Amino acid sequence: MTDPRRQRRIWYAVGGVLIVAFLAFGATSFKSNLTPYVSIEEAMRRPAKVQVKGSLVPHSTEYVEASQVLRFGLTDDRGNTMPVLYAGTKPGNFEEATEIVAVGSYREGAFHADQLLVKCPSKYQGLDEDPSRHSAET
């Protein structure tokens, strides 16, 4: 039998190395997975993976049968528009979204999104209109 104290110290060393290695792995993974958040103009210039916020060009959504992708136009507040291709399942609240964040990269004339964040008006606060227009004498 080895001395339990010594045995423990070895285990601690092994554990410590594993944890440090894991933290290093986590940190590099974190760094490499960071996707900066850019404007449409910049996304079209940069081939790297980025995310772009914008709103859906009304009635631009179409399903491209051959490649099984969803295609739509995304426009940002500076007035730039680009086509977006998305192969995943269309989120249920897609058309209703006040804002769409597309994560992916721009190549061959379109933005290939691998993730769409659809801002469901979880709250309708974004849509607030002037309530007095709906008013009536009570």
Partner 1 sequence: MYTPGTLLVWVAFVLGAVSTIAYALAIRGSAGARSIARQAYLLMTGAIVLVSGLLMYLLVTHDYRLHYVWAYSDNLLELKYLVSSFWGGQEGSFLLWIFWGVLLGLPLMRFARAYETRVMLFYNLTLLSLIMLLLKQDPFRFHEGLATGMAPLDGQGLNPLLQNPWMVIHPPIMFIGYASLAIPFAFALAALWMRRWDEWTKASMPWVLLSLGTLGLAIMLGGYWAYETLGWGGYWGWDPVENASLVPWLATAALTHGILLQRGRKRFRRTNLVLAVFAYLLVVYATFLTRSGVLGDFSVHSFVDLGITGWLVFNMVFFIAVSIGLLALRWREIPTEVGTEPFLSRTIFFVLGILMLVLTGLIVGLGTSAPLLSRLWGEPAQVGPDFYNGVGYWLAVAFALFLGATPFLGWSRADDGAGRRFSIVLAVTVVLLVAAHLVGLTGVKAHLYVGAVTFSLAANCWALLGKLRQGQWRAAGGVLAHVGVGLMMLAFLTTGWLGREQKVRLVQGEATEVLGYSMTFTGVEKPTPLARDAMVVEVTDPRGRNFVLKPRMWINQKTDQLVANPDIRSFLTSDLYVAPVEFTPGEEAPPSGRLMLAKDRPTAFKDWTLTFRRFDMARQNAVPGALTVGMVVELQRAGVAPVTIEPSLISMSDGTVQAVPVEIPGVPGGKLRATGMSVDQGLIRIELLGLGGGVARTAVLRKGESLRYEELRIRFDDFDLSEFDPDAGQINFGVVFSVERGGETVEVVPRFRSGMGGDAEVTPATVPGAGGVTLAIGRVDAEGGAIELQVIDPTIAAGEADPASLVIDISTKPLISLVWIGTLLVMAGVGMAIALRRRDVASIPVEG
112 binds partner 1 (CB under 8 A): no
Kindly tell me which of 79 and 138 has the beta carbon lying closer to partner 1.
138
Q: Which residues contact 121 (CB under 8 A, 6 or more apart)?
A: 96, 97, 98, 127
Kindly tell me which of 63 and 81 has the beta carbon lying closer to partner 1.
63
Cα(40)–Cα(124) distance, rounded to whole angstroms?
Answer: 26
The site map against partner 1 for 75-94 (x = CB under 8 A) is -------------xxxxxxx
Residue from 111, 115, 88 nearest 103 by CA = 115
Q: Which residues contact 120 (CB under 8 A, 6 or more apart)?
A: 93, 96, 97
Q: Which residues contact 65 (CB under 8 A, 6 or more apart)?
A: none
DSSP state of 97: -
132 binds partner 1 (CB under 8 A): yes
135 binds partner 1 (CB under 8 A): yes
15 binds partner 1 (CB under 8 A): yes
Q: Which residues of the shown chain bind partner 1 in the complex (CB under 8 A)?
A: 4-5, 7-8, 11, 15, 19, 22, 25-26, 29-30, 33-38, 51, 53, 61-63, 65, 68, 70, 88-96, 98-99, 101, 103, 115, 117-128, 130-132, 134-138
